[in-house]
Structure 1
Amino acid sequence: MNPNKKNNLLIFVLTLMLLGTNSILAQTLNKPTPADNPNLAGNSVWTAACASATFNEYYINFTWLPNVNSDNEFVLELSDATGSFGTPKELARVADKNSDFDFEFSFALPTDTRGDAYRFRVRSTSPAKTSPVSDAFEMYYIDFNSTLAIREMGDTGAPPAQKIQLCNGGTTTLEVYNVPNPETYRYNWYKNTSPFTSSGSGSSIEVSESGYYVVELDYGSTCSGSANTQSLSIEVEIGTSVGLALNPPAETALCSGETYAPLEANMNYPDLAYTWYKGSTIIQPSTLGAYTYNIDTNDANFPGDYSVKIQGDGICTETSNAISITNAGLFTVSRDNPANMVILPGATANLIASSDATSVTYQWYKDNTLIPGATSSTYTANAVGNYYAEVTLSGGACTSATKNTETTTVVNPDSFELITNYTTEYTDCINTSVAIEVGRINAVLSDGTKTDVTADLKSNFSYQWTKDGANIPTANGSSISLTNTSENGEYKVQGTLDSFTSTSNALAVRLLTNETLTISSTGTVICNSSETIDISTTTALTGESFDWFKDGVNLNTSSESLSVSAAGTYQLVVQKNGCDLRSNEIVISPLDDSLIALSTTNNEVVFPEGGSKIISASGATSYKWYDQNNVLLSDTDTVSITQEGSYMVTATINNCEVSKSFTASYQDTFGIPNVITANGDGYNDQWIIPNTYTKDPNISVIIYNDKGEEVLSQKQYKNNWPEASMKFPKQNMVFYYTIKNAKETLKKGTITVIR
């Protein structure tokens, strides 16, 4: 048994033991993998598939876990050559493996399989589920495994020459000529046994250098060698030009349909093969002695660049210069009026034809019948029908050249359709003005088809605008402008032309009044729940329909002003002519004492005795500063502190008051001691440092013993080291301290403890 298959079975059995044989297992489809072919000797799993008519049998191993339904089928599918399953190919289908959790598909490669990135997958049909895709594999069906035959393009000899003389500086094309449908294969070209990668992978290559050239079918890195398709070599030598050229023709500007002298090579040898080209396209295959070529001027595509190539024994392959042949009878005609023209009964339509040629004649036709005397570039049509002009060259080399203009269809309308539009972007109850116009006029024909005649007839109509069905005096143009809310309503326009009358579609107009609605308040901060703020407007609301809103919710009050005691966003909306006129918004905020900021650190101020400290406040509209005896010190946003003590500032925000306190103390004038006497006599028993280093919460004090061990680490040091219980085993012990502000070291030194 295949070791991989044996392992898969073991895994499955263990899974059943863990879950219990009566468990309902979720269906799992595993990734398909290549398997050994039991019909071949040995035990070898394939890694690439090189199929052919004599061998095309491969196996795929597939494992899964139950359960599936009794009508389930497993389907093996193959991707395209890029690994995509957009249009998968079915390789195999089995219906008898619904209790076989580890089995193998047998399949054959489709005959058009050629690529390096094919993948497999397996589908179950009941329930429908798809496995993960397999790894990518190189897979080729070798349907052509004969030696390739190559030749110089144009060499029709049997057999073709295996040695080519190529003129210095020239090029020639080598081609594979014995493969059916050669464009469906890829090819590997070699020059002097090295890959000729610049040539691409097609069935032909262009060469300009000497060397030995061979080709093989590209069946991938694994399969190409087993196909044995490599061709015999063709040797390319560089020779000397024999001076091939085309003789200058008598005329290069030819007329359609006329006969001219053929193009002629300057070398006339019956044993040389001549291949004629127009551009890069062969127009006459290689033919012995065919040193001339007749241009067929009846072919509309005859203009172009013509050249000839010669091949033969004793000379190098050479291509002549190109001669450019043009059509002297080329000219353009145009119809300079609309393709469809509508005329009213008894009216006329002016038809216009033109040409880029200087000397032409015109003849007009109606319904493919010549109109006698209609020989001008213009024609006035007074009847319905299909018209065109025949334009003929009357001067130059090609006087017989004729072209017809495109056809113009002239019709009578059955009715007209008027379509109105807003002239600019418009939204109900947003715009304060708008204009409406006749944007399009369609002529409606008897069969119901419509033709846009706006440009031709818009100015010919007379108009009458209506609002809500009533005529608007003096509104008689193709547009109307509306600037007032009193003009709100439904608008139509009636257009009249001769005996035709048409009423347009309806457009509704709801303009917003251009007046401004403003509300104001007695404050914007609520101090407490018992306080109120008044919101009002100077706009008269008597007789108006209006609503007050808080945070977008209708307050359903008919009061013309509001007294509010809750924070929120307030707005007034007045209904004007069916539209909502919205006021500005007023935001009422709750009192937030954090809005008041003092220029102190942790509400503490330290300054030198005999000096002063300026303290400032911000965030309020007015301030009052008091000392601890409630004496007013300042009523501005700053105060000068000269004494230690407790202080308070009372700040006013709108109609609210906020009080904040702080303390002031003198800066210590003593330094940091380096000796203490911890003998319990109450004098100098503890290490006392200046307030500068103890008040700031960001300053840390760290003390180490003589071994570098940390014995104290404290922010806002309490001047309490050493504690009374701390023992000192030796006299005159030395400790080390560091005072830091974040990563910055402010002070460092030693402390000697004397017992």
Structure 2
Amino acid sequence: MKRTLPFKIKIVFVLILTFFSQSGLHAQISAPTFAFTKICASPGFNTYTVNFSFTGSNTYTLEMSDPNGSFSSLTGITILSSQTTTSPGSFTFKVPTSTAGQNYKLRVRGSSPSVIGSSSSAFPAYYQAFDQPFYLNNKASNIGICGSGTVTLSVDATAPSPVSIPNLKYKWFKDGVVISGQTGSSLIVSSTGQYQAFLDYGSCSTFDEGQVEKSQKVTVSVISSSTTFNLSSSIDPPNDVCPSNPTVLSTSPGYSYKWYRNDVEIAGATANTYTTAVTGNYKVLVNAGSCVSPIYTNTIQVNGFDFNLTFPASQSPSINKIQQGETFAVTVTTTATNPTFEWYAPSSTTPVSTSDTFSTDTPIDGNYKLVVKQTSGCVFSKEILFRVGFGINPTQIPNTISPNGDTVNDLWEIPNEYLTTEYEVLIVDTFGKEILKTTNYQNNWPQNTIEFKSVNPIFYYVISKGGSPVKKGTITVIK
């Protein structure tokens, strides 16, 4: 006997087939695909795109899991643009500033009809809220610890600084090895080593010199009352050091330094190394902080290789004066081995002479230059600057000058014997107004243009030594 289904049951069966036809066949969603392997967002970049395929029309939404891959608690991404009309679809989005974890996932949800697509594979994602270098302990490079004491290394709060951003994690290194369990913005140190902090952005970090978000390196030294410092030379023994290959003198890093040559402090030498080829006895005064008094290192004698160079004329800033029709000529002598000579006119890059002699009867204003080079053994050069000009080297004190710019008698030039700190030169005008008062006069008056209120103004001079006048007279200025 053939049985038939009741009418109501047929209706329910048709509805079930219709539902599965719509939700299964026409609402399938693939797992999102994307080109990135990790998200390393920052204030300067935060745009990412995923693609997905689907069947059937629906209202699609992109979801991002929590850092552990769970979709029960979603990460609040922001959709920047989307294409969900035709398959394949896409979403462009940005992540929130709180993003930080290794196992995020993405999926697409349809809301009408309700359907959830497959999730993507896990990937790391971090928002790099601070992407600049930062500093420790007021940019210190060296810190000393007394005996069994400690020092706290802390990230400076002076802007720009990551300490103003909450929830950031740090990774600390000692001598290039990570210090386990230290994730805060400060570190208590009790042992010698070189320390550095990095911002920890997980897989978005490199923890090496290429990472931007890192501190300077700080050398911490433990100091005791028995601490000593040794001075060494990169050339041993430092005898006949060539200027083209100087020695590097060095002592322990991590402190403050003053360098001395022949017991005279070397201005500006404050590092733990000093490069030199100059003959002398060198030592360093090391200041290791409050733990011990400043300590001198041992002394090292450096013998710098040198050659003698005799230049029988005045060097700059003095001017070698000649008269019209005369020739300035100079011949140098040297103890350099196989020397070469190059003479340069002012502003010239091509030598005007390559012998040991130079001459000119048409001097150019400015510095001439002589370069003498030793070409065998220790190869290095010496340089001399000199000037040549028209005029008269005075043997007597002149009583007239003509500052008209022709370089002849433009300045009041007096004998060299008065051009020292022993003599004071005073010049006043006819009203007794002081025009010039100086010691170590440099034959450089007048430096400014003289205003001719009369035809030929007259000035009075007094040259004194030890407070007593030795020369007096007048100077008439002629146009």
Report the structure number with the largest CA radius of gyration. Answer: 1
TM-score, normalization: structure 1? Answer: 0.25
Going by fraction, where is strand more abundant, 1 or 2? 1
TM-score, normalization: structure 2? Answer: 0.39
